[in-house]
A = this chain, B = another copy of it.
Amino acid sequence: MEIMICHTSMQPIYEQIVEQIKTQVLHGTLKGGEALPSVRSLAGELKISALTVKKAYDCLEQEGMIVTVHGKGSFIAEGNLALLEETWKKEVENALSMAVEKGRDYGMTDEELRELFEIIMEEP
């Protein structure tokens, strides 16, 4: 499994791990039933504390994304893909919504906001 973490990011490391695993499940890189690396091996690989990895796995388990079996390891949960899509979509919607609100707060007209949006869509 490929995880990239950034120590200088404002985002906590454990959240970076959570997001990347979620993204990989969404993309199908990780599939239901598949085993995740052990807490200690991933911690060793990323050169971070095992507690940090543990916290990430705990978050994922709490959300029902993974299942941890004592003494065997952690595995991607089966069949939650629809749910995951839903929450992810909600997140995108929220992010977009807050950006629009910020723009309106600043005084931008709908015209200007749409223009800016199109520029961003066509750019990268």
Chain A interface residue count, Cβ-Cβ cutoff 8 angstroms: 38
How many whole Å from A14's CB to the nearest CB in chain B? 11
Q: Do residues A70 and B100 form an inter-chain contact, with CB atoms below 8 A? A: no
User: Please, how many angstroms separate the alpha-carbon atoms of A101 and B97 in the complex?
Assistant: 14
Known: A8-B69, A113-B121. A95 touches B88 (CB 8 A): no
Write out the residue numbers on chain B whose beta carbons fall within 8 Å of the beta carbon of A97: 120
How many whole Å from A80's CB to the nearest CB in chain B? 15
Closest to A70 in B: B12
Which chain A residues in 83-104 approach chain B with CB under 8 Å? 85, 88-89, 91-93, 95-103
Q: Do residues B116 and A100 form an inter-chain contact, with CB atoms below 8 A? A: no
